[in-house]
Chain A
């Protein structure tokens, strides 16, 4: 390590034990050379634990404890073994036996820390070390552990004190600055901004100033922290002095750190002369750095608006010469371009694009000087000549397309085409590029023409012609990539993708589904030549989902190798459809991928917040905390959490285990709403699919906003439904509470009172949702943007209202339970009507499932994937209705039997069954017949799907080559197979549900 490193003193301050302990045995390794006899005794237990042999670890610990009763650490290690074998309660009790003794031996403390972390009880670690420092007040090590324990749970005030206590024992700078940072964290987390500004931050500032005065500042991290404090206090002038002064010399780790900080401060302080001078200086150094062009132009116009004039004498500004007029700026830009022009190779794009940016800004201000810089069409043409063979040329130019007048578009594209070297046209009339550079140029023009909306203007014939041309270019271009590795893309892949986009345009415009089949075939063909192309996979995935075929999606998604944070950003592609299409096993799995990621986040991020303290990366601490929140508040997280629980219930509750047990095992608490509705973060990457569409067809903020609202409403419905199911399960066994205290903690025992408020919330949300979907029909999302949530389809299937009606039943049944059968004629009629209406509603949903999934008309096949989705809604609703009916049965059963007893006593001859009982029996009969009908329907759908000879049908009347036909056939086969699988899974679940019908008997 060299002097001046930002980490220097921070790293050396780290105690030997402060490593994140991954392996237990490292506790001992870290303890150095002195061998304690206890260490020797404990060693085998550590090893067993590290190797995952928990059973042996427990045995070994027991053996050791027989001989050495007071070897506390052995107890803790045993507890770890127990915890890891799922015996949480036992583990906790054992650990507490040691904890109450307030141990001060290192082995026990470290082991307990690990145990508590694994138990997700980091707050207990703080108690542990609070006791330890009380007993051994001079221990640097324990104090430092205490600080970190506080950091893990975000106890900022206590951290501040712990940091100072540490500094008093060992006056090392990092400890002092840990304390300062804890003050900053108090400021950041304070609800009251005033408190931050008048108390925490000024205190932090004074603490640093004291060190500055005493000339005790050592490390870069300390200056960074000082800067952070001043910035948060809005003391930009002071901050500037620090950065530009001797302390600023310590800011060396990050490149250009001082310049970047100065620039930020000049902007905040609106010191436009300095901002202007510094940005032009930095641009001279690096004429490709876009951010400084923006600042250079911003500052220019501010200076003009302020009528700034240079001082009579001396420098223009603290940063040197200022360009305060348009003419100076134009000449600066021209110099930059001249410099580039003089170069033989490796031209930078920055100066050329910045010139276009300057034109845009001058035009916005109606400055006539804009013309001096040249005509955008010409300049963009020149840019294309220079950089047209770079794949990013389209990304570069697309942001300046609006500089062209609409009537220049055709001229522009024609002009560019002149600069594309193509061979002479072949038989088909298409001329092809001779090498990859020419190909890239041609591709760029094609992309620009799409970006200008020219492709959208074509009629159907024109679009079909365009597709032919794009496909020809695609296939022609494959020859250049013959030696490409599997991991590389083909040079001409983007033609294929664009042809797919045009197919989609046609499909949307004409509704002709054969366009979609051909599109799928083309993409499958593309993927066969370029197996790593993520864009092909993503679009295929989207299209198969739209067609209701989830089976092929599983492989496509897994071949994307999406991991970790990508589950949050693109996991929605998978979870949106899996369940709604009836592929329950895949749905569970895809929720699990995401959930596993989110659950590890909380623990993981805390560790790195601690690391950031250790290494003095103070600016990262608030960033990590914000990041943790962003993940915890993720919309997708809330969705998969909710859907996973619903799915488990649909698949298992009352099939493999009773409903209340399923609810209990997932710690579902109906009274508790664990979704942060006001802070939901939409982390979906909605632009992951490439699009060259014109601006007015691209995803915009309004779409994103609407999609978030859409998804949130759906989530609200689902979460309320879930909580209501929880309520119903609690009604089944109202005595579940008495078992143990823990059960109440898990919230199995719902107070009956939560049913009513949840029902009215569900009703309100349903109203909102209906309004939303009515409003929503006006504007669709871009095809490549977000997909609509399940809301619209669910509402139109009728399942939402049917579920609501069924969940209302328990309220009335509760009433009946109190009133008894004798005095409740009106109530009974009400309930009977509800039963009848439920049966009708269910029948209505089922009617909407009828039809063939693939319909053959005029030799073409048309999918009716909505039937699948409706079937799933039917099944879900059946599940809920059955759970509710089960409860109804449990209320009616004792009523009926007491009635029979009474009858026996009175020996009455005439026996009129109370209406509610007969209605219930009738209802369970209807359920039976509904389920039979549904099973029949599924069977017939399966049969007619299997009977279809799809491949032959699809090709009739199409202009596909044989090879193309094969790929299209593959796609159709995949869809067919997927439908069959969905039907099979749905059918199996329905059968299992039908088997539970007998339990409804009273």
Chain B
């Protein structure tokens, strides 16, 4: 039971219950505005009947069409603790995939901390597979070592042969990804 709508600037003042989660990054204003200005349709929020924000997804479309790399990208996906286990993340992902389908993307991809097993498993259940490992993609602040990321992908209907998700044999460095 959710109202799903476009994320607006005013939601930035109300998303603490989602963003105080340790794995959810609160970005600088420019970051959000960039997404709102460039890909507003990819920034969706779910609201509970009482007005509480339940979760949101933020994404974009990028990549070269000629090289068959035009795709949807999940930049952030987060659900407040009390609204977990409702399939909300899956629903938001489905919407992002649908938008990417309409744009003619070849696949959808996302980055996730290798340690975030809960998320990795959820994405696997949603049909995503590890395409490659990106070494030290997440920089740590408190003296701990940088963490690797999985680049996970799911092919869209335009990629009929599912070429885009064939796993790379070797991990890559952050500077090697686009």
Q: Which residues of A contact B (CB under 8 A)?
A: 1-2, 5-7, 252-255, 288-291, 346, 348-350, 353-354, 357, 390-392, 394-396, 398-399, 485-489, 532, 534, 560-566, 568-570, 600-601, 604-605, 607-608, 611-612, 614-615, 617, 619-620, 623-624, 626-627, 630, 683, 685, 688
Q: Which residue of B lies closest to A348 (CB)?
A: B1
Q: Which residue of A lies closest to B47 (CB)?
A: A290
Inter-chain contacts of B82 with A (CB < 8 A) = 391-392, 394-395
* Stretch with Cβ within 8 A of A (4 or more), from B12-20, B123-131, B132-140: B12-20
Other A-B contacts than A391-B81, A566-B19, 11 sampled, CB-CB below 8 A, are A2-B65, A253-B103, A288-B1, A394-B82, A396-B1, A560-B20, A563-B27, A608-B33, A615-B37, A617-B38, A630-B10
Among B19, B29, B70, the one with the most A-chain Cβ atoms within 10 Å of its Cβ is B29
Q: Decide yes or no: A253 and B102 within 8 Å by CB, A607-B30, A685-B14 being known contacts.
A: yes
- The yes or no answer to B28 lying at the interface (CB within 8 A) is yes
Q: Are A608 and B10 in contact (CB under 8 A)?
A: no
Q: Are B30 and A255 in contact (CB under 8 A)?
A: no
B111 to chain A, nearest CB (A): 17
Expressed in whole angstroms, the Cα–Cα distance for A563 and B41 within the complex equals: 25
- The yes or no answer to B4 lying at the interface (CB within 8 A) is yes
Inter-chain contacts of A685 with B (CB < 8 A) = 13-14, 16
Inter-chain contacts of B103 with A (CB < 8 A) = 2, 5, 253
Residues in B34-65 with C-beta less than 8 Å from chain A: 34, 36-38, 40-41, 47-50, 52, 54, 65
Contact of A255 among B8, B13, B16, B98 (CB under 8 A): B98
Contact of A611 among B34, B47, B115, B117 (CB under 8 A): B34
Expressed in whole angstroms, the Cα–Cα distance for A619 and B5 within the complex equals: 15
Expressed in whole angstroms, the Cα–Cα distance for A614 and B34 within the complex equals: 11
B125 to chain A, nearest CB (A): 13
Q: Are B85 and A487 in contact (CB under 8 A)?
A: no
Contact of A391 among B16, B47, B85, B102 (CB under 8 A): B85
A-B contact pairs, 12 of them (CB 8 A): A1-B70, A253-B99, A254-B40, A391-B82, A395-B52, A488-B118, A565-B26, A600-B28, A604-B30, A611-B34, A620-B36, A620-B40
Q: Decide yes or no: A392 and B86 within 8 Å by CB, A5-B103, A288-B1, A290-B3 being known contacts.
A: yes
Q: Decide yes or no: A253 and B41 within 8 Å by CB, A2-B103, A2-B104, A604-B33 being known contacts.
A: yes
- The yes or no answer to B166 lying at the interface (CB within 8 A) is no
Q: Decide yes or no: A605 and B3 within 8 Å by CB, A392-B86, A623-B9 being known contacts.
A: no
Inter-chain contacts of B116 with A (CB < 8 A) = 487
B94 to chain A, nearest CB (A): 10
Contact of B37 among A346, A354, A562, A611 (CB under 8 A): A611
Expressed in whole angstroms, the Cα–Cα distance for A963 and B6 within the complex equals: 49
Q: Are A683 and B13 in contact (CB under 8 A)?
A: yes
Expressed in whole angstroms, the Cα–Cα distance for A961 and B83 within the complex equals: 35
Q: Decide yes or no: A564 and B29 within 8 Å by CB, A253-B102, A608-B36, A611-B34 being known contacts.
A: yes
Expressed in whole angstroms, the Cα–Cα distance for A346 and B90 within the complex equals: 12
Q: Are B48 and A395 in contact (CB under 8 A)?
A: yes
Q: Are B4 and A289 in contact (CB under 8 A)?
A: yes
Expressed in whole angstroms, the Cα–Cα distance for A1 and B67 within the complex equals: 11
Expressed in whole angstroms, the Cα–Cα distance for A623 and B36 within the complex equals: 10
Q: Are A290 and B65 in contact (CB under 8 A)?
A: no
Expressed in whole angstroms, the Cα–Cα distance for A563 and B30 within the complex equals: 13
Expressed in whole angstroms, the Cα–Cα distance for A561 and B142 within the complex equals: 12
- The yes or no answer to B23 lying at the interface (CB within 8 A) is yes
- The yes or no answer to B169 lying at the interface (CB within 8 A) is no
Interface residue count on the B side (C-beta < 8 Å)? 56
Inter-chain contacts of B16 with A (CB < 8 A) = 566, 569-570, 685, 688
Expressed in whole angstroms, the Cα–Cα distance for A565 and B81 within the complex equals: 21
Q: Are A391 and B28 in contact (CB under 8 A)?
A: no
Expressed in whole angstroms, the Cα–Cα distance for A623 and B7 within the complex equals: 11
Q: Which residue of B lies closest to A387 (CB)?
A: B86
Q: Which residue of B lies closest to A604 (CB)?
A: B30
Expressed in whole angstroms, the Cα–Cα distance for A330 and B117 within the complex equals: 44
Give 6 closest A-B pairs by Cβ, nearest first: A608-B33, A2-B104, A627-B9, A534-B20, A611-B37, A253-B41
Among B6, B16, B37, the one with the most A-chain Cβ atoms within 10 Å of its Cβ is B37
Q: Decide yes or no: A534 and B21 within 8 Å by CB, A563-B26, A568-B13, A601-B29 being known contacts.
A: yes
Inter-chain contacts of B52 with A (CB < 8 A) = 395
Q: Are A608 and B34 in contact (CB under 8 A)?
A: yes
A564 to chain B, nearest CB (A): 5
Q: Which residue of A lies closest to B6 (CB)?
A: A254
- The yes or no answer to B87 lying at the interface (CB within 8 A) is yes
A400 to chain B, nearest CB (A): 10
Among A252, A353, A486, A564, the one with the most B-chain Cβ atoms within 10 Å of its Cβ is A564
Q: Are A608 and B17 in contact (CB under 8 A)?
A: no
Inter-chain contacts of B33 with A (CB < 8 A) = 604-605, 607-608, 611, 624
Q: Are A532 and B22 in contact (CB under 8 A)?
A: yes
Q: Bits for B127-167, please: 1 = Cβ < 8 Å to A, else 0.
A: 00000000000000000000000000000000000000000
A415 to chain B, nearest CB (A): 22
Inter-chain contacts of A630 with B (CB < 8 A) = 9-10, 13
Expressed in whole angstroms, the Cα–Cα distance for A348 and B2 within the complex equals: 10
B153 to chain A, nearest CB (A): 19
A69 to chain B, nearest CB (A): 39
Inter-chain contacts of A570 with B (CB < 8 A) = 16
A922 to chain B, nearest CB (A): 55
Q: Are A255 and B49 in contact (CB under 8 A)?
A: no
Inter-chain contacts of A562 with B (CB < 8 A) = 20, 26
Inter-chain contacts of B173 with A (CB < 8 A) = none
Inter-chain contacts of B81 with A (CB < 8 A) = 391, 489
Q: Which residue of B lies closest to A560 (CB)?
A: B20
Contact of B17 among A390, A489, A612, A688 (CB under 8 A): A688
Among A252, A604, A627, the one with the most B-chain Cβ atoms within 10 Å of its Cβ is A627
Q: Are B3 and A391 in contact (CB under 8 A)?
A: no
Inter-chain contacts of A489 with B (CB < 8 A) = 81
B23 to chain A, nearest CB (A): 5
Q: Are A608 and B40 in contact (CB under 8 A)?
A: no
Expressed in whole angstroms, the Cα–Cα distance for A619 and B40 within the complex equals: 10
Expressed in whole angstroms, the Cα–Cα distance for A569 and B14 within the complex equals: 8
Inter-chain contacts of B118 with A (CB < 8 A) = 488
B167 to chain A, nearest CB (A): 26
Inter-chain contacts of B9 with A (CB < 8 A) = 623-624, 626-627, 630
Q: Are B3 and A604 in contact (CB under 8 A)?
A: no
Q: Are B98 and A346 in contact (CB under 8 A)?
A: no
Expressed in whole angstroms, the Cα–Cα distance for A2 and B1 within the complex equals: 34
Q: Decide yes or no: A390 and B85 within 8 Å by CB, A254-B6, A565-B12 being known contacts.
A: yes
Expressed in whole angstroms, the Cα–Cα distance for A390 and B1 within the complex equals: 13
A695 to chain B, nearest CB (A): 12
A393 to chain B, nearest CB (A): 9
Q: Are A392 and B29 in contact (CB under 8 A)?
A: no
- The yes or no answer to B76 lying at the interface (CB within 8 A) is no
- The yes or no answer to B95 lying at the interface (CB within 8 A) is yes
Expressed in whole angstroms, the Cα–Cα distance for A349 and B91 within the complex equals: 14
Q: Are B99 and A350 in contact (CB under 8 A)?
A: no
Q: Are B26 and A564 in contact (CB under 8 A)?
A: yes
Q: Which residue of A lies closest to B49 (CB)?
A: A290
Inter-chain contacts of A349 with B (CB < 8 A) = 1, 86
Inter-chain contacts of B26 with A (CB < 8 A) = 561-566
Inter-chain contacts of B37 with A (CB < 8 A) = 608, 611-612, 614-615, 617, 620, 624
Expressed in whole angstroms, the Cα–Cα distance for A620 and B10 within the complex equals: 12
Q: Bits for B89-119, please: 1 = Cβ < 8 Å to A, else 0.
A: 0000001001100111000000000011110
Inter-chain contacts of A254 with B (CB < 8 A) = 6, 40-41, 99
A396 to chain B, nearest CB (A): 7
Q: Decide yes or no: A395 and B10 within 8 Å by CB, A562-B26, A566-B26, A620-B40 being known contacts.
A: no
Contact of A289 among B3, B41, B85 (CB under 8 A): B3
A451 to chain B, nearest CB (A): 12
Inter-chain contacts of A563 with B (CB < 8 A) = 26-28
B52 to chain A, nearest CB (A): 7
Expressed in whole angstroms, the Cα–Cα distance for A486 and B6 within the complex equals: 32
A162 to chain B, nearest CB (A): 20
